[in-house]
Every structure is written in C-alpha cells, then in structure tokens.
Amino acid sequence: MSLILGIESSCDETAAAVVEDGFRVLSSEVASQIAKHAVHGGVVPELAAREHLKALTPVVSGALKQAGVTLKDISAVAVTQGPGLIPALLVGLNYAKGISQINGLPLVGVNHFLAHIYGAFLDSPPDVFADESLYPILALVVSGGHTSLMLIDKEGKAQQLGCTIDDAAGEALDKGAKLLNLGYPGGPVIQKVAAGGDPEKFRFPRPLTGGAGKPVAPENRYNFSFSGIKTALLYHSQKYPEMSGQLLADTVASYQAAVVDVLVRKTADARRTYGARTVVVAGGVACNAELRRRIAESVGNSARLMLAPPKYCTDNAAMVAGAGFHGFRRGRFIDLGADSFARLPRITEVDFVG
C-alpha cells in the first residue's frame, strides 16, 4: 500500500491531502484565501504566497491527522509544480522539498492541469484505467486559468484538441461578475443570480461556434474565445446602467448561458468527431449546475459521463496526490533543483497516467 501526501498552492487555495494507492482519499484539507483577495477583486500573487506560507503547516498537519497517519506512514510527497502563479507555486514546492528532504521521502512534481482531470477519477476502483471501454476519453477542463479539450487514449497519452485563445471560462465569469459589481469569485455568484433569471432574455455572442454568419476557421474548431462575450456584457451594462432585480438576473442568466452553450457545443462536436466513449468535465467551472445539467443532456447515452464531484472540481490536493501516485509508481521523481512553471508546457502529447 502506498500513501501519498499531496500539496497544492498554485493559486488561492492552500491544500493538502492523503490518498491511498491513487484513488482512496483518506483526507483532503483546503484553506481558502478567497476573503483576503475579494477586497482586491482578484488574486494578488504575492499576497497568495504569504498566505500559503502561513497556512501550509496547519493544513498539512490537518490532512495527516484527518487521515489518521503520520509522516512515517507516507510513501512519497506529490506537489503541484505548475501551471499557476509562480510566487504561490514556489511556496508549496519549497515546502514539499523540505518535507521530502527531512523525512527521506521521494518527491513527485504534478501538473495541476492534468490533476484537474484526475479529480474526476478519485474514489474510482483502482483498476479504472485498465478498462479499455473507457477510451478515448474526452476531457473538458474549465477553470479560472484554463479552458481546454483534451483527448486521452488507452496508452495514457493526452493530446490537446483546443484551448482558449484569450480568457478562460472561469475568468470570463469572474470578470463578468466584477463588471456587474457582484464580487469575487464570479462563478458561484453568477450561478446563484442566474437561477432567478431568463437565459433567453438577452442574446450574448457564442464566439468560434460558426454563428452570426462567421464560419469557424478549421484551426479554431476546438478552440474557445470568451473575450467577445465579456465585451458584449460591457456594452449591455452601458445600455442598462442601473441594473438590479429581474433585469440583473436575466442578464446574468443570459451571460452564463452563452458561456455554457459554447462549452457544451464544442464538447459535443469533439465527442462525435473522435468517438469519445467517456466525457470528463473538470476544473472549478465544472461546479456550475447549469453546465452539469446541459452537458449531461448533451452526452445522454452516447458516452460515459464523469463529472468531477464539486469538492474535487475547485483546487484541492487530493487530485494532486492521486495523480502523483502514478508518477511515484513509475519512479518519476524531481530533485531539489526542480523549479515551478507558470504556463502549461507546449504539449501536443503528454502522459496522463498510463
């Protein structure tokens, strides 16, 4: 049996978790800094780094305690190496280096983006990836930093079919909420306000879907663009400067519908084209009830749908420990010279878990 201690600090959540053999989550502790950043309307990287420094020791101790283990029981430490905010990542990486050195534990660097996909597989049976009927897997990763469609084959190779060419889906929701003075983070508040509104009241654009008489260039078929929706919201808010009540709810519902519609349509197109037998939706925006409902409706019986549970959609360390287990099993360790990285490496093909 292998117990992996996962550590996550890529953005504004300090998280630690203990996962057994890649799938069984024994503990998952998350300390959110949202309140500290909300006053600034977004995440301030240096502030995040300082908060991680304060939170790491209690969060790691809490995760060990919750799992009923000590560092002596741990087989390896897995830490988010990137992508994310460098000042924030560095704190977690250096902390993990310290724990691994002092306790003589191997250290595994985890790609946060792939870990989000892994979040949909936590709590699955340990042989889940051996099931050939799972492949190809189409994964829609939607978070504050990413919007990508990935295709994973049975060898565990992940290929990026497309990604956003400007804002990420979560960023579009966060910036939209900021524009409407709804606070930070935007996704949850947009979902709440949208629940009382009519999503068909206003028509926001669906960029790169071939609407409005603009055919999509082949290279953008699986790419996303959300800046146009955001600009349309800006013009809309100038037209209705005093937005509140039903008008606000209808605006937010229509805005959310545009973002969700683009995500669902592109995912459906890729699923059909590549004959995906599993559709995964992961990342913070995958918490969104409307996205979950629409994607379930779209996938229907044509593929297996794996929606990451909300607690593993937003940033957490269980997904890091789980993904890290596979690196540990294959002896893929990093040393004290390892650095954090800000952006997703230019990947066309990477190992998911194998």
Nearest-approach distance from CB 175 to Zn ion, in angstroms: 17
Give me the least distance between CB of 137 and Zn ion, in Å please. Answer: 19
The binder of 197, among ligand KG4, Zn ion, none, by C-beta within 5 to 8 A per type, is: none
- Strands 3-8, 13-20: pairing kind: antiparallel
171 or 315: whose CB is closer to Zn ion?
315
Piece of 141-149, 163-171, 292-300, 316-324 that binds Zn ion (CB under 5 A): 141-149
For residue 272 the two structure tokens come to 């059909």
The residue ranges that bind ligand KG4 (CB under 6 A) are: 11, 143-145, 170, 173-174, 185-188, 191, 283-285, 287-288, 314-315
Q: Which of 27, 143, 254, 256 binds Zn ion (CB under 5 A)?
A: 143
Which H or E element spans position 354? none
Return the number of the residue (134 or 280) whose C-beta is nearest ligand KG4: 280
Query: Quick check: 135 and 275 in contact, CB under 8 A?
Result: no
Positions of E strands within the chain: 3-8, 13-20, 24-32, 76-82, 107-111, 137-142, 147-152, 157-163, 278-282, 304-307, 350-351
**β partners of residue 109:** 79
Q: Which does 81 bind (CB under 5 to 8 A by kind): ligand KG4, Zn ion, none?
A: none
Size of interface with Zn ion, in residues (CB under 5 A) = 2
DSSP state of 224: B
What binding mask, one character per residue, do residues 285-324 give for Zn ion by CB under 5 A, x or -?
Answer: ------------------------------x---------
Tokens representing 49 are 């780094």
CA separation for the pair 152, 349 (Å, rounded): 9
Does residue 174 bind Zn ion (CB under 5 A)?
A: no
284 versus 327: smaller Cβ distance to ligand KG4: 284
The item of ligand KG4, Zn ion, none sharing an interface with residue 187, based on CB under 5 to 8 Å by kind, is: ligand KG4
The least CB distance from residue 143 to ligand KG4, in Å, is 3
Contact criterion met (CB below 8 Å) for 340 and 52: no
Nearer to ligand KG4, 143 or 254 (CB): 143
d(CA 222, CA 174): 22
Q: Is 8 near Zn ion (CB under 5 A)?
A: no
Rounded Cα gap, residues 110 and 19, in angstroms: 14
What are the residues facing 148 on neighbouring strands? Answer: 141, 163
The residues of the shown chain that bind Zn ion, judged by CB under 5 A, are 143, 315
